[in-house]
Structure 1
Amino acid sequence: MNERMIEIIKLLAEKDMNVAELAEHFHVSSRTIRNDLHTINDWLLEKGLEPLEIKRGGIINKSENFMAVTDILGEMNLMTYHMSKQERKRLASALLITTPGYITLSQIADYLMVSRVTIINDLDGIKKFIHNGHLEVISQPNRGLRVEGKESAKRLFLMKLSNGNKENDVLSKYLPIQAGNQVVIRKILLEQEANHNNYQSDYSFESLLLYLGIMINRNMQGEYIEVQKHGDNDKYLMAQDILKYITQYCAINTTQDEVLFLSHILGGLRYVKQAYGNNDAIKIQMMTRRFIDAISQELEMDLSNDYEFYENLSNHLESVFKSDASAFPETAVIQQVLEDNPEVVSAVNNSLYTITNHLNRELRQIEIGYLVVHVCAAIERKKNKEVAFHVIVVCHAGVGTSRLLLERLKQHFNFQVVDIMSSHEVGRLKPDQADLVISTVELKDCPIETIVVSPLLGDEDYIRVGNKVDMLRNSRHLPSRIETTKLTAKGLMEKLNPVIHELAPEQEAELTRGIRKVVREYFNQTIDPEEDIFSPYLHHLLPPSHIQLDVECKDWKDAVYQSALPLLKWGYIEERYIDAMIRNIEENGPYVVISKGFAIPHEGLDMGSIKVGMNLIRLKTPVEFGADEDDPIRYVCCLSAVDHKTHLKAFFNLVNMLKNPAFKHKLDEADTPEAVEKIIEQYELSLG
């Protein structure tokens, strides 16, 4: 905790104050106070005390034992501990690096509870110690000392300095250099290890936790990583996903350079082999579809076409199945969303049977809260794609990060961006220049309504931006301004990808990268490495050779076998994969039936699948799968998946197409595999 947090505790011990009053007292924003309160709560929990409750409207409720905090603060005094010279050097070095601007020798001496002469005697050793970390101590007459150097060097130095933040370490006791809820951060890392199939050694995992704690603390102080060089890094996507959720649940902003530097950190860690296979991945993806269908019915709003909703929710539910309920910590964001969206909470509760039937346990309230956040984000994306507000984007970290934020906004909102500027330029704005300013930093004296977001735009940001747009539209009667759809880099690549795949499959990866680079440069946009992962469409995985019509099958087991046989022959799967699929249905029931008359048998990622692929058979005589009203089954499509994502677009499109009775009718009428392929391609491309 810093000095302001200690003062907040003292004030709250003396009298009742709300967030707004604390913000006014310390001359900071309400968001800064909320961040401080979250850190204070982490500290209170560590000390065995109940955390503060931050209620709607910024009201702060204290527990009955809160007054015990004053006794603990009294014990946090360096006077009670006599440091060695080495400990003074480490603590003074950390104090120099983490202090914004200059700090005097007297201030250092006061903090360490030693004489100024002692610090003067230690100074040469402190400077040399910091110099070894590729940093320099600069002295300015009448101002004091400060550390000069790259932010990356400062963080690496603090990591080395922290000594693992052991309980008996003087640095961790008297100058915490980390921030953020460690339980939340640990949960995020565990999820992303599984999603990216990159499992770190215990030492590397703890080192990464330490770095992220330091990063959050530095970001909260307004310190960000310097410009990083772009380059090939196979950990970029993992870094991007980690920071996506860190910014969402730890209430910080971040930049593209932060993502790049984290990817370098990840690249330097040690990894172990995958600890376990995730045999439930595809099963959970199917369950996710059922939940989305159920929630769409409850809300009377079709959310089934939101691919990002489907992908994010699938990833989240995987963590629900792998973790116990305690892995989902309470956060102020979750509680606020639950309070503000009672109708969504009710709809989620009414749809939970699609999850709990497979989970074999009840979900806790906090787990339901996380589901509500995902649903609310999907609602806002759907609603706000129809609202073309004029916005100005303000970013503190340069053009590259501005472009990253701009692209993410355009993915989810039908905004007309009229200008991009830095924070110091907002003074020249006029009230009629835009409807809304979207900024990555707090702005003072801005004449236009403003909302602060993370450059990575997490679910919390989508919800808050959507709420702001609703408020503006309702209060000021702004025009909806439906703009003419414009050609975008992403839209153009979505049209080109299938053509590249069909005409040059052997050179697909190389051609796609080259064309994407040219397209992005033409549109003056940064490259999104995530788009380098090409997810084939359904008609790519089901060419005529992978479709057989009017196949004779004696029962459902034979139908599964016949649908898989071509994939076995062509080397997509091993023979054990077929037995595993049949055993899966025997043990788990006919959940593979995803629509009336249509089944998609599969098995886990480590049960004998070699290449991603599908094979579809239409039975001459339908068979029973034991799927009640969805029986009998006429179509069986065997799926071979090799990871969590490559097959996802094809599966997502297939489920949406099967909801269309005309699509099924045309499949029934088709007389050749070529005709089936054309029908699939026609309907799939019409999905948009």
Structure 2
Amino acid sequence: MSQLVRQILLFYEWLSMLYNGNEKEVICITLNEMSAQLFQRITSSNQAVTISALAEALHSTPRQIRYKLDKIDEFLKYNKFPQFLRKPNVGITYTAPPQVVERIMQKLLERENHHYIASQEERVEMILAVLLQQQNYMTIDDLGERLKTSRSTVIKDLNKVREVLKSNHLTLLSSTNHGIKIIGEEKYLRRASIELLMKSIEVQGMLSQEMSPMLKNIKTLSQSEISNMFTNMNIPFIESCVIEAEKQLETTFSDEAFYGLVIHIAIAIKRIKLGRDIVMPYNELKSYETTKEFAAASYVASRLEAEFQIEVPYDEIGYITIHLLGSNVYAANSSSSEEWAALQIITGKILEEVSESLQQESLIQDEHLFSGLLEHLRPAIYRLKNDLKLKNPVLEEIKVRYHHLFQIVKNSMASVEGYIGKSFDDEEIGYFTLHFGAALEKLKDKKEMEKRILVVCSTGLGTARLLSSRLQQLFQVNIVDVIAYRQIGQILKYQEVDLIITTLPIKCDAVPWVQVNPMLLDKDVENLKKYLTQYHFQPKNIFIQTLRLIEEHCDIKNYDALVTGLAKILKTDNVGQKGVVQPLLRELLTADMIEVKVKAKSWEEVIYAGGKLLEDRGLIEHRYVDAMVNTVKKMGAYIVIAKGIAMPHARPEDGAKKVGMALMTLKNPVNFGSKENDPVSVAVFLCAVDNTTHLKALAELMQLLDDEEFKTMADTASSKDEILAYINSKEVDRR
């Protein structure tokens, strides 16, 4: 069983013991060795100790240290001892005679004599945890006895409980003769349980990869006869199912997403055994059946049924599918989605708006940024559609470090939110901001890289890329790979690495490692100076300057080979992928690829007419035309991307032979089934062979389609020449 999942499940055991009346034992765990270590470090210091220093020394976070200090202060106050003295911008001190300090240390390490008074927030969480596990009503008196508090206090706390439940689409039902219980849809009951668990785990600091003394104590207590919700749960087996899903999807989930899926499945199994199934709309379920994620979910379900002797309902398979679609990944092939062209258009619009706001035109040509945004956008849209919450552990730091950029990115998401009809929350915006932050860091010039660095990050691709860019900006390093924690052993078998830089504690004896904040704070930089040589910058735009100099004074036989060679020598990625030529819009939309005033009675006729243009020029096989029609039938009229404009397309593997575009104007507008954008009078057909070759032309096309004058001109144009002249005039303007 993985250590992280074991820690989460052990915490569930702790909750189960607490809610079954063993409050005294659990409280003493909260205030034992960890608290003693904190107290000892503060009392043994001759000067004030900062929270950041304590966090670094104990491999914790400032938030967790503050939480522990507050608990120790409550303990000291209850036992009539002096409390900590905290001075802003100075640190924490403690003044008391040596014999008093010794007595406090002894009490902190005792297991039997602690008395603890829970705050209202903690009591509310206890009430929620108790009621979320109840199938039947529970009286207020029973709840007060469970929490060791008065009836009046419970009644007061229930007002806050109702507020929390309301925010989670749940209701606290009261019955005079029976008591109280939580009611609501099963998906919201599960979500509330998981959010409560994850919040408690974060506060307790239990997501660390190191097994803390507190967890060891919990493990011994868990051997009591008190039942817990994960008895006989084969977690390693569930992990193997998720790993198999990764293989089938040809992807690697981030550590956080991987363990989130494991916990979701474990809870689903328990709920199924209790007869509490998820219910999903039939049409929504049907829409997922053709996805590869649904196939992977079905495979996982079949293995779970055999292992746990249960029947996984159809709706549960759909729910697992949603979580697979909504999970952050380290690698994915976005062209496998039927909506790949729409996603690329939206990604391009986001890039364009952010670039314009920052006055950084080079971002539009950054293929790494484009692919990173595209990889994040697809699962982000599924999360938004299905109300799946994404946790961003570095959100506040992102808002501080990238305050201006965060606001720009947030304002630039209108194209996505208009496409979905919902708005992203700050957690999601933070991850998009990380992608742009990483790209901006790369714009700063680099020098030759020396040390071979392996970057380990558990939160996702955007965070990892930001960290890698910061490292490359500041030090002479060669980032050999960016991986999840689970991949370390596999990578080290074939890759030589000088140093591992990680955002979480790891166990690795083969290679030295350094833990840093994902934002690479100043203290992290100072620490890394012990291992790495600082960076000395090259002149700005050295690649472009060198290329222009060669163009001016030399005859070039192979331009693409020159670009690729220079990029390799100068260690830069400011060029197209491996020198691949990306055609311009005017090179694709030539006279033979344009038809005006085409007659068509239905949207199918429009697609077949446009497909014939592509097929006659040898750009596609005939099956690509059928695939365009079937895509609309399966996915709906999402291809109508703007008022009166449709972009039919299919996946590259459906028969695309070369990159190409075709444009048709219709004599009479045709309805495609889009309530917002019908009827269609202009259709642009796209075929692509990979994820990148068509991007430059697509970016130019997006600018053209955003131009209201173009739509007006196209609707009234009587010849191809009018359309070509307009496109060429815009090309001149862009120059």
Question: TM-score normalised to the size of structure 2?
Answer: 0.41
Larger Rg: 1 or 2? 2
